[in-house]
Chain A
Amino acid sequence: DVKVTQSSRYLVKRTGEKVFLECVQDMDHENMFWYRQDPGLGLRLIYFSYDVKMKEKGDIPEGYSVSREKKERFSLILESASTNQTSMYLCASSSPGLAVYEQYFGPGTRLTVT
């Protein structure tokens, strides 16, 4: 089974801090995604990476950056955390081919910025 792990389930940070959310997948998937989940808004794509060192902005990239130095690891960075970034963050991965759209998700990180 594909396993996607996220470094923390719960995280509390202060306004202005730099925050790193880490995601690791163990199935050699080319594609990795970071989403933000908020009640009533569903999942919104922050950033997408289709290969090492390759990234593409999603629908809501403002205030975020990403890093993908190795194929299995995709990091989401909040350069200066703000209270409106309090949310659930979900990482996902997928592989090209017919199953390219099928994404596998990690358990999520609930981030609170105070």
Chain B
Amino acid sequence: AQSVTQLDSQVPVFEEAPVELRCNYSSSVSVYLFWYVQYPNQGLQLLLKYLSGSTLVKGINGFEAEFNKSQTSFHLRKPSVHISDTAEYFCAAGGRPQGAQKLVFGQGTRLTINP
């Protein structure tokens, strides 16, 4: 079965510093990849998605992610973070063999921005 691993449970960074949140997935077949963000006391909101095409995907709020098939990774990056980026971030994967319409989520990474 498909699995998604987020390599860091917590990432503290200083404001205006760059950040990378790491995500690896397990699959040798077609896969669709997503990053969602959850702000405190809210549901999940889509940041960006990779379905096909260019391996560099740009999302909202200045985030981007790169699909790397050889390393089965989909790391999320932002060149300069703000206090408002403090949230929990989830990587998710869909596609065969998981099933036509379901997503598998990683464990989440809590991003804390320090002033």
**Chain A complexes with chain B:** yes
CB <8 Å contact, A96 and B105 = no
Q: What 1/0 mask marks residues of chain A from 19 to 38 whose CB sits below 8 Å from any chain B CB? A: 00000000000010101000
CB <8 Å contact, A42 and B100 = no
Residue in B46, B106, B107 whose CB lies within 8 Å of A102: B46
CB <8 Å contact, A4 and B43 = yes
**Residues of chain B from 35 to 72 with CB closer than 8 A to chain A in the complex:** 36, 41-46, 49, 51
**Residues of chain B from 7 to 59 with CB closer than 8 A to chain A in the complex:** 9, 32, 34, 36, 41-46, 49, 51
Cβ–Cβ < 8 Å partners of B45 in chain A: 105
Asked if A108 meets B42 with Cβ closer than 8 Å, knowing A101-B95, A102-B34, the reply is: yes
Cβ–Cβ < 8 Å partners of A41 in chain B: 107
Residues of B within 8 Å of A, CB-based: how many?
A: 24
Residues of A within 8 Å of B, CB-based: how many?
A: 28
CB <8 Å contact, A98 and B9 = no
Measured CB to CB, the nearest residue on chain A to B33 is A101
Q: What 1/0 mask marks residues of chain A from 99 to 114 whose CB sits below 8 Å from any chain B CB? A: 0111111111000000
Query: In this assembly, does A77 line the interface, its C-beta being within 8 Å of a C-beta of chain B?
Result: no
**Residues of chain B from 71 to 115 with CB closer than 8 A to chain A in the complex:** 90, 94-95, 100-103, 105-108
Residue in A31, A44, A50, A106 whose CB lies within 8 Å of B43: A106
Interface residues of B (CB under 8 A from A): 6, 9, 32, 34, 36, 41-46, 49, 51, 90, 94-95, 100-103, 105-108
7 CB contacts below 8 A, A to B, read A31-B101, A40-B107, A43-B44, A44-B105, A90-B43, A101-B101, A108-B42
